[in-house]
């Protein structure tokens, strides 16, 4: 069994240290108030048993809490008091140097919590360490000087989570929907260099990857681009290639027929499209941004976004190549094809590609094949999105279809209905048309719903009172995020604010107009709806006796966001947080505050957003249908998933799920496994096994447990992780049941 020290390093649990600590406190009190040797052993063994039963790797602070509880349970209050005083004194001595200690453990790759914080960052690499080191200093500044004490205390206690505190000191925001069309068609500037409109598809792809890297270095969340914005450059290349072919024929004196010319042009064009797509694929996974990781990028594939028949056909050509290359994967250092984490792909299901006989069903079959092997693309239903996302003046069924920003963060519909009067001064502004590209999210604060429930003691009136108070606390924390961005000059990130990614403001101009009126959003995140409902009602929220309460919790958050929005002209929105590492933090805090409560705090994780609990037996179609009602009440962002076995030999079933998604839910994905053992070449599922109280990855073929010699890819929070996870998230992955 392991234990996590205060500096984040992980060491073997040592029972003698607990016994010695109790004996030291024991020696400080009169003999008639001391524990007997037997009681010392009894208390120590009880603490050990509780650590084993915790469901996660415990921290030193948790062990000390358990020791205090044992001393109290034995009625040795004087000994307990001495132990608490000693603990307090030692804590005061440590306070002055905690940040230094954390940084030192980062440098030595000995901080287990940070090593597993982000499944797409390798903490042994110096560039990642540099980002984490800067983050620790920034976080310390944020918590000590920039945030109100009530927000800091609530964050530390796990009552709320103030996301990305390591970036808060700078004037940075969360997610972007990049206006790639404006930047490619009207030019941009990168690192002081003017980039004009490209003259070929391959050049456009190359410029796009440079834009992606620049944007990623100026914010800390996800970003999305649309392949539709690259589609016009296919015809630019087609015409260029045609001129070249004619020139070659003329040079050699050969008279080719129009059909022969067309064949040669299309062959070369496909080769160029393949090169351009490969540029995006490989640049994204090999580029390193200033935060020490590949850009967190989502690529949107939506046929009906094309403006004319030619553009739609060219867009289909790009989508086809993107899916083919993603199905193939990328080679690892051993030359084996594996599943990359990025770019994340989103494929829109629409009438033209949904069923056999429709013009683009061949793309849907290719998407199904890719999903079965590589876990992407994910799927958006044009039908459901047009029901949900209604800009000003639109009616249900005729709304807007657009991509999320990163893995799930969705913009609110354009409440101006006319692109906000081009407040961002984009050069591709179209009066009267709703605007999405060029907008962004200001930040996220997440409420711990199970904590609200447990704090209420199952008193329903108390629950709603506490819920109101906690939501207002989140509101104050979100206002901190907003105020931190207010007054930011466009010079802080020229690629975003001056050169088209989000706006084309003047140098020295404030970004403030983009923070109001709905142009950008700000997210009220939530986590653990299942555990909240389970505690308050005794049932899963899938049970008819609890579903109404679960929906009322969601509705309450939406009502509060609407109140704040009306009062402040800021688009607050309910957001199903992708709590990759926070799921573990919240679980540990709940156990520390409330102990082990069966079905609520007895795991090393809590459930993401509104999701059905990962251990609950439910079929894929029932799960998606059930979650669709909750997804609609999570307009700021949400994604549902179904866990499936290897489906590469059953693509018909994959397509059935995709068709069900189209009719029933706005945004969903299929989770499968995609692993490889570098020691023996095994390419099946790498297993999770328990070793001394800790979950480790093991090849079932050769027994390899060296994470550096295996490739494991799992969907964790709407995106694929490839650098492993903390123990809480790892436990959640192990507990997942199949839905198909």
pLDDT tens-digit profile of 411-421?
999 999 999 99
pLDDT of 9 over the 80 cut: no
What CA–CA distance (Å, rounded) separates 314 from 186?
21
What CA–CA distance (Å, rounded) separates 121 from 294?
8
Tell me the pLDDT of the chain averaged across its residues: 91
Distance set, CA 443 to CA 23, 136, 292, 572, 685 (Å) = 48, 19, 20, 10, 36
- Segment 622-651 shows an average pLDDT of 96
Which pLDDT value is given to residue 135? 75
pLDDT of 86 over the 80 cut: no
Active site residue 362: no
Question: Do 77 and 129 have their domain in common?
Answer: no
Please give the full DSSP string across 651-671, using - where no structure is assigned.
Answer: HHHHHHHHHHHHHH-SEEEEE
Judge whether 579 lies within some domain.
no
Which pLDDT value is given to residue 592? 87
Active-site hit among 117, 272, 580, 669: 580
Active-site hit among 26, 111, 119, 174: 174
Query: Who wins on pLDDT, 675 or 277?
Result: 277
Last residue of a domain, one of 28, 62, 96: 96
Q: Is residue 292 a contact partner of residue 123, using CB atoms and an 8 Å limit?
A: no
Task: Please list, residue by residue across 653-669, b when 16 or more beta carbons sit within 10 angstroms of its beta carbon and e when fewer do.
Answer: bbbebbbbbbebbbbbb
Last residue of a domain, one of 79, 96, 113: 96
pLDDT of 128 over the 80 cut: no
Question: Do 36 and 92 have their domain in common?
Answer: yes
pLDDT of 106 over the 60 cut: no
Question: Do 92 and 105 have their domain in common?
Answer: no
Last residue of a domain, one of 65, 81, 96: 96
- What percentage of the chain carries pLDDT values higher than 90? 72
Q: Is residue 672 a contact partner of residue 645, using CB atoms and an 8 Å limit?
A: yes
Judge whether 183 lies within some domain.
no
- Among 673, 542, 659, which Cα is nearest to 607's? 542
Per residue in 703-740, pLDDT (tens digit) is 999 988 998 988 877 778 776 777 888 889 899 999 99
Active-site hit among 575, 584, 667, 676: 575
Judge whether 684 lies within some domain.
no
Question: Do 91 and 59 have their domain in common?
Answer: yes
Q: How many domains does the chain have?
A: 2
Judge whether 487 lies within some domain.
no
Active site residue 250: no
Active-site hit among 172, 175, 474, 647: 175
Name the least confident of 81-95, 274-288, 517-531, 621-635. 81-95
pLDDT of 260 over the 90 cut: yes
Residue 600 sits at the vertex; the CA angle it makes with 409 and 620, to the nearest 5 degrees, is 55
Judge whether 15 lies within some domain.
yes
What CA–CA distance (Å, rounded) separates 361 from 384?
19
Active-site hit among 407, 536, 561, 699: 407
Hey, is 46 helix, strand or coil?
Answer: helix
Residue 515 sits at the vertex; the CA angle it makes with 514 and 520, to the nearest 5 degrees, is 80
| 506 burial type by CB count under 10 A (0-12 exposed, 13-18 middle, 19+ buried) | exposed
Question: Do 77 and 19 have their domain in common?
Answer: yes
- Segment 341-361 shows an average pLDDT of 96
Question: Do 77 and 106 have their domain in common?
Answer: no
- What percentage of the chain carries pLDDT values higher than 70? 93
What CA–CA distance (Å, rounded) separates 282 from 205?
11
Active site residue 407: yes
Active-site hit among 409, 520, 640, 674: 409
Question: Do 7 and 27 have their domain in common?
Answer: yes
- Segment 606-613 shows an average pLDDT of 96
Active site residue 409: yes
Question: Radius of gyration of the chain from Cα atoms?
Answer: 27
Judge whether 255 lies within some domain.
no
Domain extent for 137: 99-146
pLDDT of 492 over the 70 cut: yes
Question: Do 21 and 84 have their domain in common?
Answer: yes
Which pLDDT value is given to residue 357? 97
Which pLDDT value is given to residue 729? 82
Hey, is 427 helix, strand or coil?
Answer: coil
Question: Do 59 and 132 have their domain in common?
Answer: no
Residues forming a β-bridge with 674? 713
Active site residue 405: yes
pLDDT of 59 over the 90 cut: no
Question: Do 36 and 66 have their domain in common?
Answer: yes
Neighbours of 459 (CB within 10 A): 12
- Segment 417-431 shows an average pLDDT of 96
What CA–CA distance (Å, rounded) separates 69 from 56?
19
pLDDT band of 497, cuts 50, 70, 90: very high
Question: Do 86 and 104 have their domain in common?
Answer: no
pLDDT of 55 over the 80 cut: no
Active-site hit among 8, 636, 718, 728: 718
pLDDT of 172 over the 70 cut: yes
E strands, 329-398, are 330-331, 337-338, 344-349, 378-381
Which pLDDT value is given to residue 5? 78
């Amino acid at each position: 069994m392991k234990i996590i020290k205060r500096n984040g390093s992980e060491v073997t649990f040592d029972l003698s240290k607990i016994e010695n600590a109790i004996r030291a406190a024991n020696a400080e009190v009169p003999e008639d108030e001391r524990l007997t040797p037997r009681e010392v052993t009894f208390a120590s063994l009880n603490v050990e048993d509780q650590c084993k039963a915790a469901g996660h790797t415990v921290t030193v602070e948790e062990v000390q809490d358990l020791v205090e509880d044992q001393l109290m349970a034995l009625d040795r209050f004087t000994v307990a008091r001495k132990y608490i005083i000693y603990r307090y004194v030692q804590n005061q001595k440590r306070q002055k140097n905690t940040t230094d200690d954390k940084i030192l453990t980062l440098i030595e790759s000995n901080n287990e919590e940070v090593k597993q914080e982000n499944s797409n960052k390798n903490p042994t690499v110096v560039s990642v360490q540099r980002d984490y080191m800067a983050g620790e200093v920034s976080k310390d500044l944020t918590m000590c000087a920039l945030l109100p004490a009530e927000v800091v205390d609530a964050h530390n206690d796990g009552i709320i989570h103030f996301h990305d505190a390591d970036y808060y000191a700078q004037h940075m925001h969360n997610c972007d929907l990049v206006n790639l069309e404006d930047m490619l068609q009207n030019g941009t500037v990168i690192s002081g260099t003017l980039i004009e409109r490209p003259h070929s598809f391959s050049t456009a792809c190359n410029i796009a990857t440079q834009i992606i890297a620049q944007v990623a270095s100026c914010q800390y969340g996800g970003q999305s681009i649309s392949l539709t914005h690259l589609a016009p450059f296919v015809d630019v290349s087609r015409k260029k290639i045609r001129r070249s072919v004619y020139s070659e024929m003329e040079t050699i004196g050969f008279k080719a027929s129009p059909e022969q010319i067309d064949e040669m042009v299309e062959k070369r064009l496909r080769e160029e499209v393949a090169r351009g797509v490969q540029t995006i694929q490989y640049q994204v996974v090999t580029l390193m941004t200033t935060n020490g990781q590949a850009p967190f990028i989502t690529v949107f594939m939506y046929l009906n976004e094309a403006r004319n028949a030619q553009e739609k056909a060219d867009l289909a050509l790009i989508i086809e190549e993107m899916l083919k290359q993603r199905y193939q994967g990328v080679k690892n250092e051993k030359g084996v094809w594996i599943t990359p984490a990025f770019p994340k792909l989103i494929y829109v299901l629409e009438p033209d590609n949904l069923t056999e006989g429709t013009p683009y069903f061949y793309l849907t079959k290719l998407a199904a094949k890719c999903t079965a092997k590589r876990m992407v693309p994910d799927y958006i239903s044009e039908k459901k999105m047009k029901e949900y996302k209604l800009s000003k003046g639109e009616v249900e069924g005729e709304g807007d279809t657009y991509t999320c920003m990163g893995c799930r963060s969705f913009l609110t519909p354009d409440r101006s209905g006319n692109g906000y009067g081009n407040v961002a001064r984009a050069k591709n502004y179209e009066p009267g048309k709703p605007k999405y590209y060029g907008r962004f999210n200001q930040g996220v604060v997440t409420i711990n719903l199970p904590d609200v429930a447990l704090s209420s003691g199952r008193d329903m009136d108390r629950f709603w009172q506490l819920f109101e108070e906690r939501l207002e606390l989140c509101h104050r924390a979100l206002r901190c995020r907003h105020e931190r961005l207010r007054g930011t000059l466009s010079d802080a990130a020229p690629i975003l604010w001056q050169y088209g990614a989000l706006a084309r403001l003047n140098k020295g101009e404030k970004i403030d107009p983009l923070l109001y009126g709905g142009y950008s959003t700000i997210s009220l995140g939530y986590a653990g709806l299942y555990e909240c409902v389970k505690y308050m009602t005794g049932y899963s929220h899938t049970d008819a006796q609890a579903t109404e309460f679960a929906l009322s919790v969601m509705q309450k958050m939406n009502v509060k966001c609407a109140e704040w929005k009306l009062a402040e002209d800021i688009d607050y929105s309910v957001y199903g947080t992708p709590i990759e590492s926070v799921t573990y933090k919240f679980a540990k805090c709940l156990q520390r505050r409330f102990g082990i409560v069966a079905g609520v705090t007895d795991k090393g994780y809590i459930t993401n957003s509104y999701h059905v609990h990962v251990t609950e037996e439910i079929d894929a179609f029932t799960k998606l249908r059930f979650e669709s009602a909750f997804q609609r009440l999570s307009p700021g962002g949400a994604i549902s998933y179904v866990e499936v076995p290897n489906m590469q030999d059953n693509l018909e079933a994959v397509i059935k799920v995709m068709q069900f998604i189209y009719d029933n839910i706005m945004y969903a994905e299929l989770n499968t496994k995609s692993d490889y053992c570098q020691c023996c070449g095994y390419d099946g599922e790498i297993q999770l096994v328990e070793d001394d109280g800790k979950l480790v990855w093991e090849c079932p073929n050769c027994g390899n447990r060296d994470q550096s010699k295996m490739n494991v890819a799992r969907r964790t929070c709407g995106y694929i992780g490839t650098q492993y996870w903390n123990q809480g998230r790892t436990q959640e992955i192990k507990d997942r049941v199949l839905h198909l």
